[in-house]
Amino acid sequence: MDYIKRLDEVGIADVGIVGGKNASLGEMLRTLSSKGVKVPSGFAVTAEGYRYFIEEAGLDRQIRDILSDLDTHDMRGLASRGARVRRIITDAPLPTTLEQEIIQAYASMQEEYGSEVDVAVRSSATAEDLPDASFAGQQETYLNVRGPKELLDRVRACFASLFTNRAISYREDKGFDHFDVYLSVGVQKMARSDLACSGVIFSIDTESGFKDAVYITGAYGLGENVVQGTVNPDQFYVFKPTLRQGYHAIIERRLGTKAKKLVYRSTGRGTRQATVTLSDRRRFILNDDEILQLARWACIIEEHYGKPMDIEWAKDGLTGGLFVLQARTETVHARRASAVLTTYVLEEPGRLLLTGESVGMKIGQGRVHVIADASEIAGFKEGEVLVTNMTDPDWEPIMKMAGAIVTNRGGRTCHAAIVSRELGVPCVIGTSTGTRTLAKADAVTIDCSEGRGKVYSGMLKYRIDEVALDSLPRPRTQIMINVGIPDEAFIKGQIPNDGVGLAREEFIINSYIGIHPMALIQYDQLKERAAADPHIARVVRAIDKKTQGYDDKPQFYVDNLAMGIAKIGAGFFPNDVIVRFSDFKTNEYANLIGGYLYEPVESNPMIGWRGASRYYDERFKPAFGMECAAIKRVRNDMGLVNVKVMVPFCRTPEEGRRVIEVMRDFGLVQGENGLEVYMMCEVPSNVILADEFAAVFDGFSIGSNDLTQLMLGIDRDSEALSKISDERDEAVMRVIKRTIEFARSHKPPRKVGICGQAPSDFPEFAEYLVKCGIDSISLNSDVVLQTRIRVAELEMLGLLDS
């Protein structure tokens, strides 16, 4: 046949013949099927077939006349001209030869799959998915198409979709002549994901550009809901380096709301929206084996193409099989200069109005413009903040004009996210209430720089920092980073660093869990008491709401703590990540859900029941066991052996030995599989008995905040004494120097670092530490680069003590 190619007859070199989408499908069918990657079969109507149709119908001159003198910023003019072009294409008959070849190719599929086989009819442009431009979503796709007549109509509709408003505007802006881009149409057997689930995979983290994670999203039903942002999908991260080593490398799961699903119509043709039951919404769409299988396929596809990939997948509800439906090059991070680190920094506080998923790492601002429907886009002005329920390709002409974008719905692989990312426009998606909350707002600032999308009232000050990474020196002293929020790990891990000197469990427990661990362990007892005590009944209801989908409540704690730790461990792999066991004070633990039931009231919690003293105490020991279980899972199951642990506020060497013993009881053995156990040096006894503590632990991390408090006898939260509380006090400086000397002189020498606030706040304090010969300095991320440069200068000047 002259105008038809079977998909398994084409490959990546045939973009000019069958377009980017079809060429990629053929490439995978031909080369990756042997590696287990499953792709539904089908055929392509070639670009030559499109040209033949346009020329035979005499449409080329008419289209040129309609699009002459087009202004893509004139929304009404663009819409009018686009509609006229599409109408003359859909009204024109297909040439007889082309029509017969399509019918013949479809008949071959019916021989394989049965009468009136259900197919997807997808547009595939010849300029699709170039390194500097992504045409994804510019043209139409039609699902559950059956029978020759409907197929022919949909092929013609795909041809017409080369001239959708957004496609016309996009080509004009990218400098493509409308007749230099041709359209092929892919006809592919449907995977019955309407009976199961589907979604999108990126072989790179979409926001940070972190290359070692596979990011999977999905929801019930056909994949258009995920791509278009109609639903908030489930999200999964898989860590590639340890996945390749055979580990169970799922480092994060996030449950989406998944309120709708796109399914087949009962008539057998076309699709409709259906409501997802509450019980299904509370379940993840994929089991762990399926998540890992998709991640392995993503790695295989990425390795074959040699670049990060954007992949659509589906699960067939009839067979249970997984399939890859599309694969294209990821275009945003492929264009980013890897030798330059650009960071956006908000310089003043503001009133927080809204939060959601962040797209990109930029800050943007402008006057708010809420738009309910695409028919209202003509009034949008350049630089305004677009606020809407969700976007689709019809919104693209104004998205490129926006200072920032906010949507109610959508996940990080939806249309709004993909287009915003490519345009470099900061976007906050999935806010739920954006259109309502910002309806009366004037100007706002959108901050996507810290992992969570935030919308602030007013035009706040911010700055943009750029650093050439290839020119940064590497000092002998390790420069590490303090990390608390897991969502920041992929971004901060790309700052030149030597690992994480302090990862605080408290941040993870607060943001991921929010429940006192003993309330989860004793959930059944609480439930029994709830009938007689309304206060406990409220606690039980709050636990139930937080732990939806978990019958085993302690498992909720372990899972979420493990995922938070794993994301940090992965973001900095293979460098050390030192995770400090929980160091809440009693008043802080009491603030967690159910916490007041288990915490004593102390007059001075800062020096009360905290740190090591809790871990072996029978009142808290089971909770500490869950922390050990989380660390064990991260290291043993996920393969993140770069994660080490640290014990805070250990008052005596005997207390240290008891903690080590309890850890062993819970299966976390010092020295096993390279596990190192550090201690915080923050109590004067830690300095005085440093040699004895060194016999228990593998190293010290000086906590300058608490050490200053206890050396000077000052409550660090006391405003009245704030002028006296200073880590640069001579007494504090001397004990820090003594600790470093003890650690270095021990046989064998112990590692010693610092993770307090002082090196971040005071450059001269960091210089003093270098002169004392400290092994590592762990800092807040915003001062890492300048401290690294300064430390290297000091070392070059020979200022280290002998």
Catalytic-role residue among 415, 427, 448, 772: 415
Surface-to-core class of residue 684, CB atoms within 10 Å of its CB (0-12 exposed, 13-18 middle, 19+ buried): middle
Query: At which residue do the structure tokens 């996210």 appear?
Result: 417
The 3-state secondary structure of 326-389 reads EEEECCCHHHCCCCEEEEEEECCCCCEEEEEEEECCCEEEEEEEECCCHHHHHHCCCCCEEEEC
User: Phi/psi at 315 (nearest 5 deg)?
Assistant: -110, 130
In angstroms, the Cα distances linking 481 to 349, 646, 736 are 23, 15, 20
Surface-to-core class of residue 112, CB atoms within 10 Å of its CB (0-12 exposed, 13-18 middle, 19+ buried): exposed
- Separation CA 211–CA 269 (nearest Å): 41
Number of Cβ within a 10 Å radius of residue 176: 17
Give the DSSP H or E segment for 587. Answer: helix 586-590
Give the DSSP H or E segment for 216. Answer: strand 213-220
For the chain, give percent helix, strand, coil, nearest 5: 45, 20, 35
Q: Tell which residue, 159, 156, 126, has the closest CA to residue 15.
A: 126
User: Phi/psi at 215 (nearest 5 deg)?
Assistant: -110, 115
Asked if 755 is an active-site residue, the reply is yes
Kindly give, in sequence order, each residue whose CB lies less than 8 Å from that of residue 106, ignoring residues fewer than 6 positions away. Answer: 117, 119, 148, 151, 187
Kindly give, in sequence order, each residue whose CB lies less than 8 Å from that of residue 257, ignoring residues fewer than 6 positions away. Answer: 231, 232, 281
Contact call for residues 494 and 574 (beta carbons, < 8 A)? no
Asked if 415 is an active-site residue, the reply is yes
User: Phi/psi at 314 (nearest 5 deg)?
Assistant: -150, 150
- Separation CA 708–CA 759 (nearest Å): 13
**Residues 350-363 as b or e (16 or more Cβ within 10 Å = b):** beebbebbbbbbbb
Catalytic-role residue among 197, 448, 650, 755: 755
- Separation CA 12–CA 20 (nearest Å): 8
Kindly give, in sequence order, each residue whose CB lies less than 8 Å from that of residue 181, ignoring residues fewer than 6 positions away. Answer: 125, 126, 127, 135, 162, 171
- Separation CA 295–CA 630 (nearest Å): 23
Q: Tell which residue, 405, 362, 406, has the closest CA to residue 383.
A: 405
Residue type, 496: P
Task: Specify the DSSP class assigned to residue 635.
Answer: I
The alpha carbons of the chain give a radius of gyration, in whole angstroms, of 30
Which residues are bridge partners to 429 per DSSP?
A: 357
Residue type, 125: A
Q: Tell which residue, 687, 682, 699, has the closest CA to residue 750.
A: 699
Kindly give, in sequence order, each residue whose CB lies less than 8 Å from that of residue 35, ignoring residues fewer than 6 positions away. Answer: 300
**Residues 289-323 as b or e (16 or more Cβ within 10 Å = b):** ebbbbbbbbbbbbbebbeebbbbbbbbbbeeeebb
Q: Tell which residue, 191, 198, 221, 202, has the closest CA to residue 301.
A: 202
- Separation CA 506–CA 484 (nearest Å): 8
The angle formed by the CA atoms of residues 505, 507 and 511, to the nearest 5 degrees, is 120
- Separation CA 503–CA 490 (nearest Å): 14
Query: At which residue do the structure tokens 């040439």 appear?
Result: 95
Active-site residue list: 415, 755
